[in-house]
Structure 1
Amino acid sequence: MFNLTSLLGAYSDSPAAQSLLEFEGGIKILIDVGWTDDFDPDHLSLLEKVAPTLSFILLTHATTAHLGAYAHCCKHIPNFTRIPVYATEPVIGLGKTLLQDIYASTPLAASILPKAALSTILLQPPSHTEIAGYFNLIHPLKYSQPHEPLASPRSPPLNGLTVTAYSAGHTLGGTIWHIQSGLESVVYAVDWNLAGEHVLSGAAWLAGAGATEVIEGLKKPTALVCSSRGSQRRAITSKRRDEILLNLIKETVANGGTVLIPSDSSARVLELAYLLEKAWKESSNEQQEGSLRKAKLYLASTTSSSTMNNARRMLEWMDPSMVKELEAASAGGAHGKNSDGKPTQRTHNAPFEFSHLRLIERKSHVSRALSRDGPKVIVASDASLEWGFSRTFLESIAQDSKNLVILTERNAPISHANRGIGRSLWEIWTEKSGLRDLDAISEAPPTKAFSAGGVEISSREIHTEQLTGNDLNVYQQYLSRQRQLQNTLNTDRVTTLETAVDVGDDNSSTSSDSSSDDEDEEQQGKALTAAATLAHGRHKLGLTDAELGIDILVRRKGHYDYDVRGKRGRERMFPVAAAKRNQRTDDYGDSIRPEDYLRAEERDEAEDIDATAKKEAAVGQKRKWDEVGAEAAAPNGKRAINGTNKRRKADDGRSDTKGTATNGDFDSDASDADEGEEESPLEGPVKAVFTKKTIRLNFRIAFVDFCGLVDKQTLRYIIPRIEPRKVILIGGEGPETDALAEDCRALFGSKSKDAADRSIDIFTPAVGFMVDASVDTNAWTVKLSKPLLKRLQWQNVRGLGVVALSGRLRSSEEDEATEESSMKKLKTLNGSGTAEDTNTANDTSALPILDLISAGLSAGSRIVAQPIHVGDIRLADLRKALQAISFTAEFRGEGVLVINNMVAVRKRGDAGRIEVEGLVSLGAMGRPDSTFHETKRKVYDMLAVVSGA
């Protein structure tokens, strides 16, 4: 069984992606936790419903559309952090910096309370430290390595399910997922690009350069889940694309204008940053006066230095040319000395070690960069121009017609009520250029910019205010409900058994009997509160028996038994909590006090928050509202604003030792006055206040396609070679999804949508609709006779019981005749009985019976099942097995395993066929060499033998 439900982004304008995959046995996999640029919490309603039943999560790209809601879900959905998450290392590193940039740039990312509250109150956003902690929970994977994931505590067993990551080519570490579960083989490929670029290599569909066949791991899946976004674009070479971009920049710089390129802050920005740094470097090396030398080059985002640091340590995930460039830079580095004995200067920088690109991470540096004279080229976050530094730069350059804004992708509308600045600029460009179809745009891309001509666009500005009055009461009630929900669902904290253990352990762990009566009353209050929560939690929250699970034994009266068959983890044990100690001790029983090991700066920070800590109420006692707000502002108890500013100041003042200017030449101009210019975040709960603003646009607008997505011609080439049984198209607008569906039907020989003879099924689901794409099987039900059943020898193959047998299929009439004669004999002997007695065992009489072949059957008509070798062999595992018996095994050529220079083993693409070729020669003692026979024996040992019966 395989079902797919798109939770967000399918058959719509929204680029966000959330897909729920369901397999046999109740296994549910969530792929991507994307979000839209308006950060509307209503878009996560479907995800919140299925979150408690998820087995694990897979992430594909480090973009807002694929993991923008990950930190929000970890902070605000109970037990979401207990669900295992898997992604490649670049997606983990770049995704962390992306979300840190988002939450530092726009207050709207914290998301507004549900609309039922009729307010614009903002939730508490996760801090930088919390975001880093959430991403540290993600399990890193490498490409082309099958992995058996872990399951969440409430998930059913995965039964040998495996996931394999392959390169998608769209972003650094972007992934095409292959999921194998029983008979179901699913390839999930959204937002991929087969063509290589400067930094990124192409998607891993083909075996290598010049190959024409899809690799075995991605071929012939039972279902191919593919995105249709950009599927109607024509192919344009990266060289032509770069030429158009640089010509537009040179033209604007020569006229003394400023160029703004809005982009994301972690994924596609790497391609832009590398290209522009290379162009500036080539321009500075030219003898003639190049126009690019007149302009300053900036990259603006709050986490730009962290993003580039991640890129420098992940070169092995990029195109092989990046590694060669690093080797060239190391070979020509400052290791030698000149004639004066001084070390030589490095002539080549390693990739992403910038000498011309200056990084901007603070608002004060943005205003300083704009105040500088001369032309400028600025790459700023974000591509939607709704948040980030791109919005600030846009408002500053809007009035000058010499300036230029280059769009690098087609922006989707933010919402029905707010189209967004990026979408408005796209519509202005399509109207001025007269090109509305992506097919026409890519076929003949415009090489010039078009003036906005004084068009006015409306935008909304967002700022925060402290909560007061009724808003404060609404937020307090919301926190109370959420706390009750989390306490009821989090069984590790509020079961009555655990509370009793905690109370007893707290009293026994004290070193003296000087505890006061007030402390005893507080502990009793804690136990009573927990007991009341358990008694009424199910009634208030409406939790079903299935949601309670094994906790029903302690949360509902009258239940004394729970079926633990087939359960895993804590569901197999009675919910008794282990005793907890108040003080941590080492191996020798000495108490460990963490405050004794604080650094000087941490000690100062602890002293700063000591006054707030003294006001904190004891356990079980009510707290005042202002204390709740202070705790929300510092959720870890030791995260004060002063300490954060100290670390930020230290980060802003440091310079990269490898020659990368972290903040360009702004560090030399920094002063104490600049620190005061930065807006300090408000403490406690806040609300969002929206104001409308009109911007008059006089600059020029251009479009250069840097989205890095697959084109129409490549899709028509790749999909037939994948040979899927079913195709599910998601992640695209309605017209382009329908167009790709018609192309697929034409490619697979089906002319009409309802043709009965089409070779494959093509689905185009909308958000919230389930698609049943289970594998097609033909099954017949028969009864096995008892003699045959005793002789079967079952073999375990990938968690399935398999047996080969030979038998004789007969109807049940023979059994009816035999049973009828036996009943007649019984009736004669007993002298009693009725006619109904002869039909008591005929409920399953319609089923045919498979029995042993009679011994009297002629030998010519007897068919004997031969042993069958079932399984799949990885040549890397075969190599290890041969090396274990002291054979020399190494890979040569195109994936050929050579053993002892005598035997060659290769794997053909057709159903994983193994070919063993070699010579049988005589050894030193005149005996035949055993290399060939031992190799074949190891091959057979790695396969499951299904014997006949």
Structure 2
Amino acid sequence: MTAYIKFTAISGAHNEDPLCYLLEVDEAKLLLDCGWTDKFDPDDLKHLKRIAKQVDAVLLSHADVDHLGAYPYALGHLGLTCTSYGTFPVHDMGQICMYDAYQSRADVEDFKTFTLDHVDAAFEKMVTLRYSQPFSLSGKCKGITITAYAAGHTVGGTIWKIKKDTDEIVYAVDYNHKKDRHLNGTVLMSTEALARPSVLITDAYNAKNEQPLRKTRDAALVDTITAALNANASVLIPVDSSTRVLELAYLLEQHWAFHRLHYPLAFLAHQSYRTMSLAKTMLEWMGDGIAQAFTQRREAPFDLKYMRTLYRLQDLEKIKGPKIVLASLSSLDTGWSQQIFRDWAAIEQNIVILPDRGAPGSLTRTLYDEWNARADARTADGIRPATNVELDIPLCAKRKIPLEGDELAQHLALEQQQREADAIAAAKARALLEEDESDMDDDEGEVAEVANILASGYDIYVKDQTRTGGFFKQSQSYRMFPVIDTRKRVDDYGEQIDPQVYTRGEYQYEKQQVEEVEEPQPMEIDKIRPEEEQIPSKYITTDIVLNVRCKVIYIDFEGRSDGQSIRNILPQVAPRKLILVRGSVEATKHLAEYCLATESITSEVFTPQIGECINVSAATNIYQVKLTDSLVSSLKMSEMSDYELAYVSGIVRFPSNENDTKAPEAGDTEALDLTSSPTSSPTAPRPQPATQEIPILDLTPLPMQKRHRPILVGDVKLSEFRRLLQSEGFVTEFGRAGVLVVNPGSSEAVVVTRAAAGKLSMEGRAGDVFYKVRKLLYSQHAIL
């Protein structure tokens, strides 16, 4: 049975904006990533706001702002209430990423878009999975199974496989087939579980880019840094706070250790120490090189000896002389990287190394565009050299300054007044609560009232009842401090119970043991959540013109497959339908044209616009059909995988009402012939499934069923069929274009070919070999 599948691009289509997409599988609504920019402008989420309350599950693929930046805000402000899913590193590193992004904003402005509580609440709702671990969803998503596979690019980066019935949807964005120093490449091409999906959703971000070899890029980075430091200049590398920074940090740490360099090397981020501490615990998610270094040489990767992890700018200012700094955030729009860049940009000897191009509109993209326009042609190794950039950039400089003098005194006075007001309000609320919950009788109430009076005054006045006064004389009053014998609370038997009696001995020990078991384990949110500063401060905004005169170079450390690799990968995956998302208009068009011109790739290629909903269901007309028990018992079922299939020829009629279960009679007029269902194009509108208020149909067999031509149902992969043939004693080999040859070189050779539409054909001389191969091929299908 096929599912009803719709896809809507919320953000990141025909542009390079963050990734966010809505996938509808029957009634279930899945949100694929929930990205934002580090500007955190709520106006960018207008499309997400319309559908957030309807989402049933969120699948997060990478632990950076581009993929999960809007998740805490959507959970706290847009009504998103569902559970999210991601790998363990995406959970831990993603939380650190959002902490760092929040602190970078809160350091320079009164940032209220989201809080650390929103971040904590968001990641508490995340279910963590391991690679290749199928997980069945529940609720409206019942029947859907999701599985995470390695995507490369970032630690824990994920390619999602979403399966419902016979439909398989693969969401593969920002993957990297090449091996990094700390990560293996993606498994997109190497596992058959991701081969030939019903729908492949992928990006065109690098469709027109060429990437030099890793060895060349590493050498260019090291040579550029060495030349700058020898020239008594400093180097700034703007990086993210938790993902791709690991590749650069590991590379530079190894280089410093091998050459015993004395130049200061620092990683400056609010969460720098926590990032490296967590990286030490994620060795199983990293590449083979990391595992070998740990098992064979007992080296602890990311146990940094040469790189300093700093979290305050004051600590960096104490380091004198030329230095290299990896600073967050990578966009240069905020964070320590922008503050360092403002101080170093006017010095011509300094150099800024851009490991990625940055988002459109960011300061990083501005520098990249200027370098791209000024840099010389590529050298033989494919790396373009650094060049001096001359720019005057209008910039809004923001600072946070501690309060002093009268401002500090006024702030403290207001805080004291607020604390007193809060204390009074809390006392009143507590008194009302105690009054409501009190079970004292009237006498005890009077005693409590007197006790309250005594708590606020030292004495009371008692009138002397034996003396009276006239018009001008008042009766004498005596000051008296009364002694009140409070009533002790006892049980029904008159015994006073001491609660401490019941918390001694073995009971107290058992209670302590239970508390120790139920106590949450450390290294959760409390251990990685940063402490918010309580220093009274004010925020100052100044419009400046930043004079950029330093050198700039772009060296590709984005960790994504380039255009040539993408064009080689897609034919191997061979999707039935292809959806291209995130990428410039030119890159999206270029990749779409290539796919349409390549026969081994599907001709059904979709490039949706933002907000456009497209229908990518495998079938064009889907109905829910109700069969009678007598009809089901008469069917001859054929097994295929986990399903039982049968062929039925009959007439479909709409019942007069939804509760009518009576079989239609032969004279009914409104009917459809099952054997001649109409077809339509993939994007053409079609009837909705029964789950969307289409009436359930009744099916009755025709009085005289005609014999139908047998139908083969199934999708046999040639690689699996080859293993079956070899187990039966046949000699096989793959020829050109994926052709499987059985008994090559003999007179009875048989050729099995898969056409572009997925159909299999056999060619060969009629004989024992041909019929045996055909019988084995038929056995891999259900024959109806």
Q: Cα gap change, 1:870/1:260 in structure 2, threshold over 3 Å: closer, same or farther?
A: closer
How far apart are the structure 2 equivalents of 1:811 and 1:276? 69
Task: Select 1:323's aligned residue among 278, 291, 298.
Answer: 291
1:452 corresponding residue in structure 2: 389
1:71 shift after superposition: 2.0
1:576 corresponding residue in structure 2: none
1:184 shift after superposition: 2.5
Task: Select 2:15's aligned residue among 3, 6, 12.
Answer: 12
1:767 corresponds to which letter in structure 2?
Answer: I
1:69 shift after superposition: 1.6
In the alignment, structure 2 segments of 5+ residues that lack a partner are 408-432, 447-498, 513-525, 654-664, 675-698, 739-778
Deviation per residue, 1:148-189 (Å, 9 max, x gap): 1244xxxxx323111111111111111111111133321111
2:96 corresponding residue in structure 1: 97
Q: Cα gap change, 1:283/1:870 in structure 2, threshold over 3 Å: closer, same or farther?
A: closer
Task: Select 1:218's aligned residue among 158, 181, 194.
Answer: 194
Q: Cα gap change, 1:844/1:356 in structure 2, threshold over 3 Å: closer, same or farther?
A: same
1:572 corresponding residue in structure 2: none
SS in structure 1 opposite 2:136? coil
How far apart are the structure 2 equivalents of 1:315 and 1:95? 17
2:358 corresponding residue in structure 1: 411
How far apart are the structure 2 equivalents of 1:708 and 1:389? 23
Deviation per residue, 1:451-470 (Å, 9 max, x gap): 124x321211235799x9xx
How far apart are the structure 2 equivalents of 1:782 and 1:103? 52
2:757 corresponding residue in structure 1: none
How far apart are the structure 2 equivalents of 1:868 and 1:447? 54
2:397 corresponding residue in structure 1: 461
How far apart are the structure 1 equivalents of 2:51 and 2:624? 35
Matches for 1:318-717 after TM superposition, within 5 Å: 318-330=286-298, 349-369=299-319, 372-373=320-321, 375-414=322-361, 420-433=362-375, 445-453=382-390, 455-463=391-399, 510-512=438-440, 680=534, 690-717=541-568
Q: Is 2:57 aligned against 1:59?
A: no
1:66 shift after superposition: 0.4
How far apart are the structure 2 equivalents of 1:46 and 1:236? 37
Task: Select 2:646's aligned residue among 804, 811, 815.
Answer: 804
How far apart are the structure 2 equivalents of 1:351 and 1:783? 60
Query: Residue 170 of structure 2 contacts residue 200 of structure 2 at CA under 8 Å; is this kept in 1?
Result: yes
Q: Cα gap change, 1:150/1:790 in structure 2, threshold over 3 Å: closer, same or farther?
A: closer
Q: Is 2:604 aligned against 1:761?
A: yes
1:724 corresponding residue in structure 2: 575
How far apart are the structure 2 equivalents of 1:781 and 1:72? 39
How far apart are the structure 2 equivalents of 1:137 and 1:811? 45
2:105 corresponds to which letter in structure 1?
Answer: T
2:590 corresponds to which letter in structure 1?
Answer: A
Deviation per residue, 1:360-405 (Å, 9 max, x gap): 1123213223xx13x2111111111111211121122223222111
Answer with 863-872 or 92-101: which moved more.
Answer: 863-872
1:329 shift after superposition: 3.8
Q: Is 2:221 aligned against 1:271?
A: no
2:613 corresponding residue in structure 1: 770
Structure with the larger strand share: 2
Structure with the larger helix share: 1
Query: Residue 375 of structure 2 contacts residue 384 of structure 2 at CA under 8 Å; is this kept in 1?
Result: no
2:197 corresponds to which letter in structure 1?
Answer: P
2:210 corresponding residue in structure 1: 234
Query: Residue 782 of structure 1 contacts residue 850 of structure 1 at CA under 8 Å; is this kept in 2?
Result: no
1:160 corresponding residue in structure 2: 143
1:141 corresponding residue in structure 2: 129
Task: Select 1:123's aligned residue among 104, 112, 125.
Answer: 112
2:396 corresponds to which letter in structure 1?
Answer: R
Matches for 1:164-243 after TM superposition, within 5 Å: 164-207=147-190, 215-243=191-219
Query: Residue 196 of structure 2 contacts residue 573 of structure 2 at CA under 8 Å; is this kept in 1?
Result: yes
1:333 corresponding residue in structure 2: none
SS in structure 1 opposite 2:256? helix
2:36 corresponds to which letter in structure 1?
Answer: W
1:790 shift after superposition: 5.8
How far apart are the structure 2 equivalents of 1:707 and 1:13? 14
2:274 corresponding residue in structure 1: 306
1:254 corresponds to which letter in structure 2?
Answer: N
Deviation per residue, 1:925-947 (Å, 9 max, x gap): xxxxxxxxxxxxxxxxxx99999
Aligned length: 610
SS in structure 2 opposite 1:43? helix
1:54 corresponds to which letter in structure 2?
Answer: V
1:841 corresponds to which letter in structure 2?
Answer: G
Identity of aligned residues (%): 28
1:766 shift after superposition: 1.9
SS in structure 1 opposite 2:232? coil
How far apart are the structure 2 equivalents of 1:44 and 1:64? 14
Answer with 1 or 2: which has the greater Rg. Answer: 2
Q: Is 2:692 aligned against 1:841?
A: no
In the alignment, structure 1 segments of 5+ residues that lack a partner are 111-120, 152-156, 208-214, 285-292, 331-348, 415-419, 436-440, 469-504, 518-584, 598-638, 650-678, 751-758, 813-838, 876-893, 897-901, 912-942
Q: Cα gap change, 1:648/1:786 in structure 2, threshold over 3 Å: closer, same or farther?
A: closer
How far apart are the structure 1 equivalents of 2:392 and 2:269? 27
Q: Cα gap change, 1:325/1:132 in structure 2, threshold over 3 Å: closer, same or farther?
A: farther
Q: Cα gap change, 1:183/1:741 in structure 2, threshold over 3 Å: closer, same or farther?
A: same
Q: Cα gap change, 1:242/1:870 in structure 2, threshold over 3 Å: closer, same or farther?
A: closer
Q: Cα gap change, 1:691/1:229 in structure 2, threshold over 3 Å: closer, same or farther?
A: same
Give the TM-score of the pair, scaled to structure 2: 0.67
SS in structure 1 opposite 2:250? helix
Task: Select 1:297's aligned residue among 226, 241, 265.
Answer: 265
2:776 corresponding residue in structure 1: none
How far apart are the structure 2 equivalents of 1:7 and 1:365? 42
Deviation per residue, 1:127-157 (Å, 9 max, x gap): 2x65345323211111112211244xxxxx3
How far apart are the structure 1 equivalents of 2:574 and 2:317? 55
1:47 shift after superposition: 1.6
How far apart are the structure 1 equivalents of 2:387 and 2:221? 14
SS in structure 2 opposite 1:29? strand
